[in-house]
Amino acid sequence: MELHIVIQGRKDLANQVYDQLRESIESGRLAAGVQLPPSRLLAIQLGLSRKTISDTYSRLTYENYLVGKIGSGTFVNTLSSPARRSLISSDLASVERVRKWQGISLPLRHPTLEGTLRCDFIGGATAKTQFPHDEWRRCTQYALRQMSQARGFYSQPEGLPALRSAIAGHIAFARGVKCVADDVVVCNGAQQALDLIARVLIEPGCSVAMEDPGYTPARLLFAAQGANVVSVPVDSEGIVVDDIPQDAHVIYVTPSHQMPLGMPMSVARREALLEKARRIGAIIIEDDYDSEFRYEGRPTDSLQSMDQFGVVAYVGTFSKTLLPELRLGYAVLPKAILEAVIKAKQLTDWHTCTLPQWALTKFISEGLLNKHIRRCHSIYAGRRERILARLAQDLAPWMEAIPSTAGFHMAVMFKVTLNLGLLIELARKVEIGLYPLTGFYSDTAPRDGLILGFGAIETLDIDPALDRLRDLLLQIG
């Protein structure tokens, strides 16, 4: 690849090269550590003498813009700091729109590697130690072979036919979803599925009904699309259907494992929700994010399996069963919006990367996904039982769990009044990650509680972590 330098005329050649190289380094276009072409090659490229280039390199080296490494070449000095790009001007025509996006607070962000705590009760995350690396590596090698046989064109926006078929078979078996391969759209995680459905159904000012408390990233996404997000309270049976506004275009729910409280929606409430959606012409988004993991009671099928009206858009993800980093999710869409969402997907990113799609196809078709879920189910069940046991024993004076039967987080409420912010701060100092429920509430008055995830914390760390939590609770009274 040639270094982009433009020479004009035949005057002041050395200064032309110097000025352009210096500006490129200061602006950050030539990043710290980038190797420059040998002086001989750059001289040939520009049609200049090698001495002109060598003198320029020497001058920039003297000024600490470049550094020479014997036997390796000439590099941009890591000590040179590029100038910051200018900020967005207040004269920008879209300044108010930009400020609106800048003002969005993004909760539930997972920590970086540097910020990871030893004992982390973060929700929505799995332990990488459980991931079947060897099996996935073999499936990835299969994916590479499949891609080598392709013609190099863009793939289908709705996803590879083989993967759509595999997903349809898996969710029919595991969640009772009624669908065929043609109903499935493969997405970059469940969040993109929500975004695509919102693009098709939402325009500024229309109403979206959401559980409160509920999944905050979905709320922020709908609001960013211009929706009037209406908070609907939940009770022990799920969303209060009578409080859903008559003008709602979209109703977002988590019926199998309410986010974040954890209780399942009752059958009667599901029937009432489906009937109301049919009556007002709304699409229900069923976010079935982690319901493959069920620990007690009779299995509950998806809300979509009860849908007789074609009003449920079922959204699922492999972030909970495999890894969030894979960014693999899907939507099973009713006929009324399927074609529109596929076109929105193509306009958004054309299609999801085919390499992980082929790998996941192989992983599902060989039964490895079900095997992995069964293995993780046993591990998560043990962690859940241990936390519940401690909540019923030495932690009982302070906390109690909200009954839930699925997923790999639980909500716990405090029985006493305490300084929750102080507790979380002190816990971080002893390597324990605690996360409050308050961030999931919008208009409903929040209750003091924690969301205790047990997907990422190792089993052997649970009791020591809860011992420290108990000691902190004793300390702050």
DSSP of 196-230: HHHHHH--TT-EEEEEES--HHHHHHHHHTT-EEE
Stretch(es) of the chain classified as CATH 1.10.10.10 = 13-76
pLDDT tens-digit map of 1-29:
678 888 888 788 889 999 999 999 988 88
CATH superfamily of 113-127+371-476: Aspartate Aminotransferase, domain 1 (3.90.1150.10)
pLDDT category, 273, cuts 50, 70, 90? Answer: very high
Tokens of 463: 């009791």
Select 132-366's CATH number: 3.90.1010.10, 3.10.20.30, 3.40.640.10, 3.40.190.10: 3.40.640.10
Q: Cα–Cα distance between 408 and 405 in angstroms, integer? A: 9
pLDDT, position 112: 64
Determine how many CB atoms are found less than 10 A away from the CB of residue 382. Answer: 13
Q: Cα–Cα distance between 214 and 231 in angstroms, integer? A: 9
Peptide bond into 213 cis (omega under 30): yes
Across residues 428-436, what is the average pLDDT?
95
Amino acid type, 450: L
Peptide bond into 324 cis (omega under 30): no
294 near 258, Cβ under 8 Å? no
Tokens of 444: 């409903």
What pairing do the DSSP bridges indicate for beta strands 207-212 and 73-76?
unpaired
327 near 211, Cβ under 8 Å? no
pLDDT tens-digit map of 55-97:
999 999 999 999 998 888 999 998 755 555 555 566 788 888 8
Amino acid type, 134: D
Closest residue by Cα to residue 196 from 353, 103, 333, 356: 333
Closest residue by Cα to residue 251 from 239, 268, 267: 239
Strands (E), 78-205: 119-120, 184-187
Q: Cα–Cα distance between 176 and 419 in angstroms, integer? A: 44
In degrees rounded to 5, what are phi and psi of residue 342? -60, -40
Name the residue with tokens 């979380």: 424
Please give the CATH topology (third level) of the domain spanning 13-76.
Arc Repressor Mutant, subunit A (1.10.10)
Stretch(es) of the chain classified as CATH 3.40.640.10 = 132-366
Stretch(es) of the chain classified as CATH 3.90.1150.10 = 113-127+371-476
pLDDT, position 250: 98
Residue 242: is its pLDDT beyond 60? yes
pLDDT tens-digit map of 101-119:
888 887 767 766 555 788 9
pLDDT, position 151: 83
Give the DSSP H or E segment for 360.
helix 354-365
